[in-house]
Amino acid sequence: MRDLRGRVALIDFWDYSCVNCLRTIPYVKEWHERYAYLGLVVIGVHAPEFEFARSESNVESAVAELGIEYPVVMDNDYATWHAFTNRYWPAKYLVDAGGYIRYWHFGEGNYADTEEAIQLLLGEAGLAEALPPVMDPIRASDEIGAVCEKPSPEIYMGHLRGKPGNPEGYHHGQGLDYNSPGSLQDDVPALAGRWRPEAEFVVFEGPGEGRVSLSCAGAGINAVLESRASGPCVVEALKDGRPVPPEDRGEDLVEDLGRTWLRVSRPRMYRILSNARFGRHDVTLVTRDPGLAVYAWTFVSCVKE
């Protein structure tokens, strides 16, 4: 940071499997494009939420896929995270030319306010005279008038932070044959088939069919998944017990012979549902491939009506 004195710095804490982080990345990329030549330095600080996000190759793949051109720091030991006393994904801090933190924002939103703060600090530093108008919202759900309901909280599957709705519970590191509990509790995942709980995830051991079901509320519904097998895992997705209709499919779903499914290869967040309206639905992931690991469920709340 000392070497950046005289310039304005935007520090963005993120994780490539975090849905809220991913939704802010297009704005951060555009600010880099708009203001880097005027003296804004954008630095992404990648603080991993899960063990797989400590892998440099996994983060490099995510950076390339997202088209990020500003530098990204691997903060695996959370040194930078703690230096900023940060607690959130995502979190943005604006540092002025004198090295003082002048603005911060946690979570999504406030994009216009953040860009106005960037322009203010660039002007104070004498780095810019003529500035472009603040950018328009990228998504309809970011526009004025969008409706944001309260979604389900982030739901974890591993035994450190999660608990299934099955009466069998978890036996740490030990595979167990789970029977579907029948009815689902709100925001409590239920397992069917043989699954082994680990600290951060549950992994399907086979044989036969494995299911993870969840009654959850959101517009967008996502799952953090990984294949721990030698190749990809195929996962069928159901909404309220049926294939996901075209208008509600997340971008990772495909349709074939009346089934909606996705292929899980590298560990990341997979977009399951992108509902036109906010609501509560039963979502089920079905696989016959041992090695599928389920880490977490995440949700998007805002829609433009």
- Judge whether residue 148 has pLDDT over 90: no
DSSP state of 115: H
Instruction: Read off the pLDDT band of 146 (50, 70, 90).
Output: confident
Rg (CA), the chain: 21
Give per-residue pLDDT as tens, 123-141: 999 987 788 899 999 988 8
Domain boundaries, the chain: 2-138, 155-303
Packing angle of the helix pair 19-35, 56-66 (nearest 10 deg): 60
Task: Check residue 49 and give left, alpha or beta (phi > 0: left; psi -120 to 50: alpha).
Answer: alpha
Return mean pLDDT, the chain.
Answer: 95
Cα dihedral 109, 52, 190, 263 sign: positive
DSSP state of 82: H
- pLDDT value, residue 127: 82
Q: 195, 178 in Cβ contact below 8 A? A: yes
Q: Which residue has the tokens 């009466």?
A: 167
- pLDDT value, residue 305: 66
Give per-residue pLDDT as tens, 17-34: 999 999 999 999 999 999
Which ranges constitute the DSSP H helices of the chain? 19-35, 56-66, 79-83, 111-124
- Judge whether residue 235 has pLDDT over 70: yes
- pLDDT value, residue 129: 76
In whole angstroms, give the CA distance from residue 83 to residue 72: 17
> What fold, for 155-303?
Jelly Rolls (2.60.120)
Q: Which residues lie closer than 8 Å to 204 by C-beta, 6 or more apart? A: 193, 194, 195, 210, 287, 289, 290, 291, 292, 293
- Judge whether residue 145 has pLDDT over 80: no
Give per-residue pLDDT as tens, 54-88: 999 999 999 999 999 999 999 999 999 999 999 99
Instruction: Read off the pLDDT band of 96 (50, 70, 90).
Output: very high
- pLDDT value, residue 303: 81
Strands 8-14 and 40-46, sheet pairing: parallel
Structure tokens at 200: 């951060």
- pLDDT value, residue 17: 97
In whole angstroms, give the CA distance from residue 117 to residue 96: 10
> What fold, for 2-138?
Glutaredoxin (3.40.30)
Structure tokens at 141: 């759900």
Phi, psi (rounded to 5 degrees) for 303? -140, 155
